[in-house]
């Protein structure tokens, strides 16, 4: 099988791209779009190959895009999150899913891989999600979806997200489904205690390599202890925002401190210091503030989950049969 060309929308700091490339070098990103300048600069720092477009997605025209096989992205989740007002399509960000559908209609990629919060499934008693499925179905796509929790993919973070895979009906793959059932393909292995401690050992301050950490949610002087699994990272970890909550660690030497950006990167299975630097459009390297590092990594996908799904994508295409397949890859 030849390379699979990828278009990454709402790319942020490149979680989909990094995860897919970790799965295989057969994934080749040919176009990426991100409007936030800090996230875009981090993305460009790692991939300064001209694939990144810093433009409002509503202004991106299909005819200006290269051809691609897979369209992926985590479209804005705030309108669907239980932490927000759940205003879905009343919020302009909620309508951005239609920009994905618009580009899919015009470019007809073989597959879409989308991510969002589980709340997307049940708002308006499922009618919003049903609308999305119908729109994709009308374009000739078969849709599957599954909720995965990051804590079962090698990181100590409880982060539930729904992943939607839509593939063209012309893809014949023996009548099976895309997603495995249960824990097949090694999906779902909870990290060991050793992996947990390894994730949160950063040498911060006077910490020692053998420290054992507790994850703590600190709110108005009260602590909720999560032991060795972090709750879902958010975009506001750098400040005590959101009802005064701050995610912290309680170390073996009885110190209470907030998570560092490095620890948050590890909880999302990015390489260390992934968000530390950015690259401007003029080629100047800049240092990213901690506030923006917390925000951008909190908005990202857990790359180890994407890598596992990437393996499923490879298996899917290898087992698919479509006319003139050799000429389409």
The residues annotated as belonging to the active site are: 77
Alpha carbons 154 and 99: distance in angstroms, whole number: 33
Contact 11, 73 (CB under 8 A): yes
CA 82, chain centre distance (Å): 18
Q: What angle do CA 284, 290, 293 make, to 5 degrees?
A: 75
Residues with Cβ within 8 Å of residue 244, at least 6 apart in sequence: 219, 220
How many angstroms separate the CA atoms of 108 and 226, rounded? 44
- 291 and 238 Cβ atoms separated by less than 8 Å: yes
Query: What are the Cα distances from residue 237, in Å, to 18, 231, 242, 259, 290?
Result: 23, 12, 9, 8, 10
Q: What angle do CA 292, 281, 78 make, to 5 degrees?
A: 35
Phi-psi region of 185 (alpha: psi -120 to 50; beta: other; left: phi over 0): left
In our burial notation (b when 16+ CB lie closer than 10 A, e otherwise), range 299-311 reads: bbbbbbbbbbbbb
Q: Measured between alpha carbons, how far is 41 from 237 in angstroms, rounded to an integer?
A: 20
Q: How do beta strands 160-168 and 222-227 pair?
A: unpaired
Q: Is the dihedral of CA 16, 22, 26, 31 positive or negative?
A: positive
């Amino acid at each position: 099988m030849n390379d699979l060309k990828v278009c990454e929308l709402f790319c942020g700091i490149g979680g989909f791209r990094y995860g897919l490339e970790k799965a295989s070098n057969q994934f080749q990103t040919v176009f990426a779009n991100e409007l936030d300048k800090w996230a875009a600069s981090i993305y460009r720092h790692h991939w300064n190959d001209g694939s990144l477009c810093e433009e409002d997605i509503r202004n991106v025209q299909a005819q200006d895009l290269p051809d691609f096989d897979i369209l992926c992205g985590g479209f804005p989740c705030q309108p669907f999150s239980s932490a927000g007002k759940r205003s879905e399509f009343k919020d302009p960000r909620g309508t951005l899913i239609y920009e994905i559908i618009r580009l899919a209609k015009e470019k007809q990629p073989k597959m879409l891989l989308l991510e969002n919060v589980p709340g997307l499934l049940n708002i308006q008693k499922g009618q919003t999600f049903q609308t999305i499925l119908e729109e994709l179905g009308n374009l000739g796509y078969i849709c599957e979806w599954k909720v995965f929790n990051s804590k079962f993919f090698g990181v100590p973070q409880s982060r539930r997200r729904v992943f939607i895979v839509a593939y063209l009906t012309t893809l014949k793959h023996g009548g099976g489904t895309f997603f495995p059932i249960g824990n097949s393909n090694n999906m779902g292995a909870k990290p060991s205690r050793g992996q947990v401690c390894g994730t949160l050992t950063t040498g911060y301050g006077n910490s020692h390599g053998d420290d054992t950490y507790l994850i703590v949610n600190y709110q108005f002087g009260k602590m909720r202890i999560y032991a060795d699994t972090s709750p879902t990272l958010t975009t506001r970890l750098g400040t005590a925002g959101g009802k005064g909550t701050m995610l912290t660690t309680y170390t073996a030497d009885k110190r209470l401190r907030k998570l560092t950006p490095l620890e948050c990167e590890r909880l999302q299975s990015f390489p260390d210091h992934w968000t530390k630097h950015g690259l401007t459009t003029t080629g100047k390297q800049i240092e990213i503030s901690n506030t923006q590092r917390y925000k951008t990594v909190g908005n990202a996908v857990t790359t180890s989950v994407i890598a596992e799904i990437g393996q499923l994508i490879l298996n899917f295409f290898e087992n698919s049969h479509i006319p003139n397949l050799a000429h389409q890859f």
